[in-house]
């Protein structure tokens, strides 16, 4: 431990410091990718449960609203199949309305950029 601290203190930007920085960046990137994939699979599994009722479906959509994201297609399909199974088509319209609001509030992020512009 003393050797590592003396190396990093004597040579700023040394290999030890850079290695720790690279490891930190790699861990943060992998955590975010794992979180996104894990969230997607958990939400899809939640909506595909056969014993889900209307209140749970509404609560699941509300939790997605709180994230303030435009959801991936597979999440939307799982949620809409649940609404169809529960015969709750109003919840589908609420979901579309929320995603439309998010899309229009962040229109510049979703705009197609052409090479000439």
Residue 115 falls inside a structural domain: no
Q: State residue 77's pLDDT score.
A: 93
Terminal Cα-to-Cα distance of the chain (whole angstroms): 54
Give the count of domains, the chain. 1
pLDDT per residue as tens digits for the range 81-112: 999 999 999 999 998 888 888 877 777 766 65
Domain that holds residue 105: 2-110
Residue 11 falls inside a structural domain: yes
Select, from the ranges 1-5, 31-35, 37-41, the one with the highest average predicted confidence (pLDDT): 37-41
CB contact at 8 A, 94 and 61 = yes
Q: Quick count: other Cβ atoms within 10 Å of Cβ 75?
A: 20
Residue 38 falls inside a structural domain: yes
Residue 116 falls inside a structural domain: no
Q: What pTM was estimated for this model as a whole?
A: 0.60
Residue 76 falls inside a structural domain: yes
pLDDT per residue as tens digits for the range 53-84: 999 999 999 888 888 776 788 999 999 999 99
Question: Over the range 34-72, which residues count as b (16 or more CB within 10 Å of their CB) and which as e?
Answer: eeeeeeeeebeebbeeeebeeeebbebbeebbeeeeebe
Domain CATH number, residue 52: 1.25.40.40
Q: Which of 6, 84, 77 is nearest to 43 (CA)?
A: 77
Residue 117 falls inside a structural domain: no
């Amino acid at each position: 431990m003393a050797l590592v601290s003396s190396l990093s203190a004597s040579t700023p930007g040394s290999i030890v410091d850079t290695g720790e920085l690279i490891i930190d960046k790699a861990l943060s990137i992998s955590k975010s990718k794992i979180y996104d994939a894990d969230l997607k699979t958990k939400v899809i599994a939640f909506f595909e449960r056969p014993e889900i009722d209307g209140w749970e479906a509404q609560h699941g959509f509300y939790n997605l609203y709180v994230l303030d994201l435009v959801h991936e297609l597979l999440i939307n399909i799982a949620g809409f199949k649940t609404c169809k199974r529960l015969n709750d088509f109003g919840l589908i319209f609420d979901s579309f309305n929320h995603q439309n609001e998010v899309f229009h509030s962040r229109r510049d992020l979703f705009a197609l950029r052409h090479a000439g512009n």
